[in-house]
Amino acid sequence: MDVENIHQILRSLYGEMMPLCGNMAGVAKGIAGLGALFYVAYRVWQSLSRAEPIDVFPLLRPIIIGICIMFFPTIVLETINSVLSPVVQGTNNMLQTQTFDMNKYREQKDRLEYEALKNNPEKAYLVDDDIFEARLKELGVTDVADKLGLYVQRGLYNAEKGIQEAMRNLLEILFQAAALVIDVIRTFFLIVLAILGPVAFGLSVWDGFQSTLSQWLVRYISVYLWLPVSDIFSCILAKLQILMLQNDIIEMTQNPSYAIDASNVVYIIFMIIGIIGYFTVPTVAGWIVQAGGGGAFSKNLNSAATKAGAYVAGGLGASAGNIAGKLFNQGK
């Protein structure tokens, strides 16, 4: 299944779970109603005991919260989502544009690499079947060792290319998986906040729990912004890859001795950095909207990402160094 389809399924899952908010509205009405009774009675009794006029404006607070609970999906959730959805759409459009350009430059780089090898008389047989067959025909029946050497060199070249491609695909899968983990956790948090939102609104009517309402709003907005922050991070990474690809294309067209394999090693290191960086998205989103109570989660998530990145970087870095060493020795 395409990763983009999974992101779409997660967005559909959020919409499918929203009717469950109505099931919690009944519980929230009871909590809010009882809290409103004590809230209003306490303030009316306080004003009467002090022989002061009753201030009606603060008494409207439980009424407004009750209306929000009754129409929670429409008034609260749809309003917040409508305000924040243009941010999500804008960052996603940025990402799609950069991704399209990156794929275009990557195809151009692969084509130039193939042409550079094909135009090199000493290495053309590695990528062109016709030239390889022609070189075999040039050798006589007695040149068995030379023929075997051609097969071995081409086999080693294909093996190295296969290993590089496998590492590249593995890192890209891990890269997409990191973004998917952020989106799955984000969807889970939003669903929990949405379903239990009416209860949080009901508790906020009670004295001492007024901050529950503001904390719910802040946390919902902060988690909602995880996706735009993730898209911006992906957009930055895609732009950096475009600049790297453009530099490789310029060097390949102007510098015949440019080592393309060295840029592949840099690309592997760059992907490892990107995988680790994805897990800083909750922290960055918390900088935009200060959400209390999520610090421990962000700390544990970043710690886990650092440890996982260290293991991945160690294994893949050793493999990349081994391949680079072989290529360097072969070049000698």
Q: For 6-31, write each residue's pLDDT tens digit.
A: 778 888 888 888 777 777 777 888 88
Please compute Rg for the chain using Cα positions. 30
- Say if residue 326's pLDDT is above 50: no
Interatomic CA distance for residues 122 and 116, integer angstroms: 11
Interatomic CA distance for residues 311 and 305, integer angstroms: 10
Residues 171 and 180: beta-carbon distance below 8 Å: no
- Written as six digits, the tokens of 173 are 């899968």
Question: Which residues lie below 8 Å from residue 248, measured CB to CB, with a gap of 6+?
Answer: 109, 258, 260, 263
Q: What is the pLDDT of residues 127-181, one digit of tens each?
A: 766 776 777 777 766 666 777 877 777 778 778 777 877 887 887 788 888 888 8
Residues 193 and 220: beta-carbon distance below 8 Å: yes
Q: Is 68 left (phi over 0), alpha (psi -120 to 50) or beta?
A: alpha
pTM: 0.72
- Say if residue 291's pLDDT is above 70: no
Burial class (CB in 10 A: 0-12, 13-18, 19+), 159: exposed
Interatomic CA distance for residues 76 and 192, integer angstroms: 15
Quote the mean pLDDT of the chain: 76
Q: Is the Cα dihedral 324, 326, 331, 332 positive or negative?
A: positive
Long-range contacts of 292-298 (CB under 8 A, 24+ apart): 292/215, 292/218, 292/219, 293/215, 293/219, 294/219, 294/222
Give the pLDDT of residue 137: 72
Give the pLDDT of residue 169: 80
Out of 127-141, 198-212, 284-298, give the one with best mean pLDDT: 198-212
Interatomic CA distance for residues 76 and 18, integer angstroms: 12
Interatomic CA distance for residues 46 and 42, integer angstroms: 6
- Written as six digits, the tokens of 331 are 């070049």
279 or 185, greater pLDDT? 185
Give the pLDDT band (50/70/90) at residue 88: confident
Give the pLDDT band (50/70/90) at residue 330: very low
Out of 26-40, 180-194, 274-288, 315-329, give the one with best mean pLDDT: 180-194
**206, 209, 213, 217 alpha-carbon torsion, rounded to 10°:** -170
Out of 5-14, 101-110, 161-170, 207-216, give the one with best mean pLDDT: 207-216
